[in-house]
Structure 1
């Protein structure tokens, strides 16, 4: 039996890890592209309907507490209430499949009922979830991507090898993220 070389193991690891993670690579690629354009459209959910509402607010603004908003949520929607955020003169109330904006001076507001975009919406959730099992799986996936990148550098031999030409392309590829990091600031 012939001795297995480093090139053999590089090709094997590169190929087999790539096969195992091809579904996740595709899902992360598609949803990542969609998330890059989230200022143009919401890749996770779409609005089914909107409704206007008006609440009678207490005269004293300090009485508009979390408890007040939780109680008021029942008159705004039958959806399960999940919490709120107050910022400036507006409160945002979050429900299971909806969210409402409330003007804290006038008591006028609007609720949007939303649904997850099939497939794309679920894929975008993968980028944001904090489920401990998914976090571990994603960390392992990150290590697998590093393995694919490193083993890929040493698969080719001769004039197309990393040593001859690959390092130039890799260096150019590394420059772009740094350029964008400095431009985005």
Structure 2
């Protein structure tokens, strides 16, 4: 491939995907830390509650969860509920409920999605067909950008053959070591 063709392809794909690269990088950073804070939403109201839960966990059914939601005057549609680690949790579109199984003490948290941030984070979660195909094209384009970038320097001490392959190998080692030691 000609040097000018490689540079042009590298440049044009870089320009096309610049905004998407920034969006993915930004939302990826937020997603990495979502267990420490909830960038996608913020709390509007938190209210303490006390509920007499059934003594047998098996009695906490879909019907029980729906009736409890009505009793707690939660207008949202229930998305899921579970019992785990001594807690009964119900998740709604804009509300979360968590109740301790032994004491019955709990909390209702109402929240709203954070503008812009929640939409950006949606990119990482979206599973619609068109987005999957677009993301595949984006991934292939990132590979092309990386390879054409490595091919652009043909002479001198900073070429891929002299130095670039070592740095590329170092870059590949990080995810491999992470997978081995995690």
**TM-score (norm: length of structure 2):** 0.87
1:33 correspondence with 2:29? yes
Q: What residue is the counterpart of 1:176 in the other structure?
A: 174
- For 1:171 and 1:61, how far apart are their aligned partners in 2? 52
1:129 to 126, 138, 145: 126
Q: Give the C-alpha shift of residue 8 in structure 1.
A: 2.2
Q: 1:86 to 1:15 in 2, by over 3 A?
A: same
Q: Distance in 2 between matches of 1:153 and 1:21?
A: 18
5+ residue gaps, structure 1, are: none
The alpha-carbon distance between structure 1 residues 139 and 165, as it changes in their structure 2 partners (threshold 3 A), is same
Counterpart selection for 2:6 from 10, 22, 35: 10
Verify the 8 A CA contact 1:158 1:164 in the aligned structure 2.
Answer: no
TM-score (structure 1 length as normaliser):
0.85
Per-residue CA distance 1:8-41 (angstroms, 9 max, x = gap): 2221221111111111100111122222333432
Q: CA RMSD in A?
A: 2.0
Correspondence list, 1:156-171, <5 A: 156-159=153-156, 160-171=158-169
Matching residue within 42, 61, 68 for 1:65: 61
Partner SS state of residue 111, structure 1? strand
List per-residue Cα deviations over 1:62-113 (Å, max 9, x = no partner): 3221211112112221222222122243221011111111223333321111
Q: Which runs of 5+ in 2 are unaligned?
A: none
